[in-house]
Amino acid sequence: MNFNLLNSNSPIMDQMVFFHNHVMMLMISIIVSIMLMMFNFMKKFNTKMIFINHYMEIMWTTVPIMILILMCMPF
């Protein structure tokens, strides 16, 4: 599978390629972290965690916000 874009001939396309690479790395890191969290959750599953888990709720709301901020920041 080739997820790269074609070679660029303009500065705008260079920026688009950079943005594409940035977003792809961000998506890969998100997928890997979710897989690790799921693995850890399955490994030590406890029914108490379902009802009382404020930490998970906080993470559930702040992580997407941080991801959106990282995607919008120019580098």
Residues found in the chain: 75
Domain ranges of the chain: 11-72
The pTM of the full predicted model, rounded to 2 decimals, is 0.56
SS (H, E, C) 44-57: CCCCHHHHCCHHHH
**DSSP class of 30:** H
Per-residue pLDDT tens digits for 35-71 = 888 787 777 766 565 666 677 778 888 888 888 888 7
| Six token digits for residue 47 | 């029914």
How far, in Å, CA of 2 to CA of 32, rounded?
20
Tell me the C-alpha distance between 56 and 49, whole Å.
9
pLDDT: which is higher, 68 or 10: 10
Q: What does the pLDDT read at residue 31?
A: 86
